Amino acid sequence: MRTTADVLFALRDFYREQWQKLMQKENPHVNGYLKIEQRNNHFRYYHGFYDPTIKAQKRIYLSRHDTTLIRQLAQKSYDQKLKRLLEKRLRTLDRICRDFHDEELENLYSSLSPQRKKLITPSIPSWEALVKQWIEKPYPVEPPSFPRPEIYSKNGEQLRSKSEKILADMFYDQNIPYKYECPLWLEQTWYYPDFTFLSPYTKKEVYWEHLGMMGEEEYASRAIQKILFYDRHGIYPGENLILTYETGATPLDFRWAQRLISRYLIKTE
């Protein structure tokens, strides 16, 4: 996922690209402006321009035979307005991008002396403090208990499958805090996503579901229903829902899983 700074810089690059395209398409041979007047249910078009011979503005009527010039003048007016608006936004983004840092607000408290920190309650906690508070928050209810295989993660959870163990150990080895089967309250019922994280980008929870038996028709049908259910409640694949899959013939590609980890759970500077 992209940081706020990434989004701002990308937006500035997009505006610059659009501005350059306007400069390249500018036609120096199209002078003046277009004036449109409505009379009853008819429109009349006029070409306004400065006439140096009389040193004054002049306006001439354009007939239906002047369609090309009418379109050129209309396009010129639009392009000029768009160019001015792009320049205004570029000036604003240049000022913001010059000094913008994603973690500046969170790092303010961290930069204070230990003695001063004792006197202050930060309005915006650091990422470390936010994660600590999140990870220490107890589960609202205990996940349902039923027989599970003797498969344990490095963090000590008893898991449902070897693939879940490998995923959990990948998170553990990369110091990514997670909660296993943390209860989620939706439609008056507790649901238990495989893994829950705190996003380093949005500071909100992100869920990871591993769908490990997609080769079985009944399981695949339930999995699709689960994804659609999440979607109805604002939990969207590619945003705050990470999905991995496997079948009996196609095991989980852990290089793909690592790319997802890097994209959503590790914030790059």
Instruction: Give the C-alpha separation, 185 to 151, whole Å.
Output: 27
Instruction: Give the C-alpha separation, 237 to 207, whole Å.
Output: 9
Does position 3 have pLDDT exceeding 80, yes or no?
no
Does position 19 have pLDDT exceeding 90, yes or no?
yes
269 pLDDT tier (thresholds 50, 70, 90): low
Average pLDDT over residues 25-37: 90
pLDDT digits (tens, 9 = 90+) for 219-260: 999 999 999 999 999 999 999 999 999 999 999 999 999 999
Which residues have C-beta within 8 Å of that of residue 73, sequence separation ≥ 6? 30, 32, 33, 34, 47
| Residue at 231: amino acid letter | D
Instruction: Give the C-alpha separation, 168 to 178, whole Å.
Output: 8
Per DSSP, 197 falls in state E
Instruction: Give the C-alpha separation, 199 to 143, whole Å.
Output: 22
Greater confidence, 3 or 48? 48
Greater confidence, 106 or 212? 212
**Dihedral (C-alpha) 159, 164, 165, 166: value to the nearest 10 degrees?**
180
Residue 237: per-residue pLDDT? 95
SS3 call for 239: coil
